[in-house]
Amino acid sequence: MKMNLLVVGGGGREHALAWKLAKSPLVERLLCAPGNAGIEAVAECHPVAVDDIDGLVALAERENIDLTIVGPEVPLTLGIADAFAARGLRLFGPSAAAAQLEGSKAFCKEILDAAGAPTAAWGSFDDPLAAHARIDQFGAPVVIKADGLAAGKGVVVATTLEEAHRAVDEIMVDRLYGAAGRRVIVEEFLPGEEASFIALTDGHTVLALASSQDHKRIGDGDTGANTGGMGAYSPAPVVTDEIHDFVMHQIMEPVVATMRERGIVYRGVLYAGLMIHAGQVRVLEFNVRFGDPECQPLMMRLESDLVKLLLAVVEERLHDISLEWDPRAAACVVLAARGYPMTAEKHVPVFGLERAAVRQDTVVFHAGTGRSPQGQVVTSGGRVLGVTSLGATITDAVNRSYVAVSDLSFDGAQWRRDIGHRAASVRAIARA
């Protein structure tokens, strides 16, 4: 039986999901809310905001949606899964209780400790003076995190005590990230290389996706401010078979079991941000949705039917599923607007999309795009496009993406020139 599907979101991650879902023979109609100028090529876009839970419920009921797939974290923390379940509507994504893993960094750390999963030493503070005192105890470098959601930007890796104290004041006193800064986490600095370990779980079985790695800093050489992500690639050579097995058995499965013991059956994406150093792994954070931009190379590589995979999660039969991956690597290069990550110049015309679209094994996923009154594609957010390619190696995939980047232009565009640099010297391809 063919199905009507709804994707919630309007970024590069959601474009990648919609692009992959549209390929399934199980799909009758594919809708997206609110979507963007790229998503409209594969789905019917409806102007309902991601935080309008009542509006999304109404849309799903009106359009006879059989399954809703939630992209961003905000509607999940607002309880969209609970609202849909109350109306008998099927949705892929964790409940509000489960989404606290991303919605509150203090809650995440508590679960990690309860599960016996390795993580950095930490403290949680709602009083700036207490946070300042803990910083002095830790010394520099030290990590300061806003407890709540801050669109991937509420983390400061402070190399000096002065920088750390300033971060606490900006987050807690100046409220740079709004309500997300009512509480901060002061955390031990962990050296090493970051990797994204993304899995699906139905609350019992945990099924790992292909390994991936992103680039969070705005500038080449991992310099400058944190962003939502300036590029990504898959597989991640740093995730060896041994590390993969350790993460599954010592982190992912114990966390799911700990949540279940607390009466929270976690169904959806479970995404661990890892720090790997000298063969040792510790968890930096959890996210409760697909990474962005990691989702883009993952969807390019996934050969299995995504609809069947998501249904297995919702119906708690993930144990029946095995995954097939394209053996090639994939890489995504993000083009961002002038001013990102703090601001973003909008309504700037985008050129070259037609040229880039004909590049073999390359897809330009739209993130922050819209249309002018005349129908021209224009910028509408910080991260504008995610140019994603397949290649025999990570280096080959990256190079293909950069060729397509050269087709594209908009005033003020910025992108990193070193995506995949950490993997460039690694010959072996990691576990698929």
Average pLDDT of the chain, as a whole number: 95
**pLDDT tens figures, 223-243:** 988 888 999 999 999 999 999
C-alpha distances in Å from residue 339, one per residue of 155, 218, 342, 345? 19, 11, 6, 6
Reply yes or no on whether the pLDDT at 392 is more than 80: yes
Choices 3.30.420.40, 3.40.50.20, 3.40.50.300, 3.30.110.30: CATH for 3-95: 3.40.50.20
Reply yes or no on whether the pLDDT at 427 is more than 60: no
Residue whose tokens read 């109350």: 86
Reply yes or no on whether the pLDDT at 335 is more than 60: yes
Domain with CATH 3.30.1490.20 in the chain: 121-188
pLDDT at residue 152 in the model: 67
Q: What is the pTM of this model?
A: 0.94
CATH superfamily of 121-188: ATP-grasp fold, A domain (3.30.1490.20)
Three-class secondary structure assignment of the chain: CCEEEEEEECCHHHHHHHHHHCCCCCEEEEEEEECCCCHHHCCEECCCCCCCHHHHHHHHHHCCCCEEEECCHHHHHCCHHHHHHHCCCCEECCCHHHHHHHHCHHHHHHHHHHHCCCECCEEEECCHHHHHHHHHHHCCCEEEEECCCCCCCCEEEECCHHHHHHHHHHHHHCCCCHHHHCCEEEEECCCCEEEEEEEEECCCCEEECCCEEECCEEECCCEEEECCCCEEEECCCCCCHHHHHHHHHHHHHHHHHHHHHCCCCCCEEEEEEEEEECCEEEEEEEECCCCCCCHHHHHHHECCCHHHHHHHHHCCCHHHCCCCECCCEEEEEEEECCCCCCCCCCCCECECHHHHHCCCCEEEEECCEEECCCCCEEECCCEEEEEEEEECCHHHHHHHHHHHHCCCECCCCECCCCCCCCCCCCCCCCCC
Mean pLDDT in residue range 304-318: 98
How far apart CA 252 and CA 287 sit, in angstroms, is: 12
* Chain center to CA of 180: 18
Mean pLDDT in residue range 343-364: 96
**pLDDT tens figures, 179-203:** 888 999 999 999 999 999 999 999 9
Name the nearest CA neighbour of 214 among 421, 426, 427, 17. Answer: 421
Choices 3.40.50.2000, 3.20.20.60, 3.30.470.20, 3.30.300.30: CATH for 193-405: 3.30.470.20
**pLDDT tens figures, 63-121:** 999 999 999 999 999 999 999 999 999 999 999 999 999 999 999 999 999 999 999 99
Name the nearest CA neighbour of 372 among 348, 337, 393, 356. Answer: 348
CB-CB contact of 377 with 371 (8 Å): yes
Domain with CATH 3.40.50.20 in the chain: 3-95
- Which amino acid, one-letter code, is at 231? G
How far apart CA 206 and CA 199 sit, in angstroms, is: 7
Mean pLDDT in residue range 240-254: 97
CB-CB contact of 19 with 300 (8 Å): no
Q: Nearest 5 degrees, angle CA 202-CA 205-CA 207?
A: 95
Domain with CATH 3.30.470.20 in the chain: 193-405
**Among the ranges given (62-76, 165-179, 390-404), the one the predictor scored with the smallest mean pLDDT:** 165-179
Mean pLDDT in residue range 145-156: 84
Reply yes or no on whether the pLDDT at 432 is more than 50: no
- Percentage of the residues of the chain whose pLDDT score is greater than 70: 98
Q: Is the peptide bond before 118 cis (omega within 30 degrees of 0)?
A: no
pLDDT at residue 424 in the model: 63
Q: Is the dihedral of CA 315, 103, 141, 130 positive or negative?
A: negative
How far apart CA 113 and CA 128 sit, in angstroms, is: 24
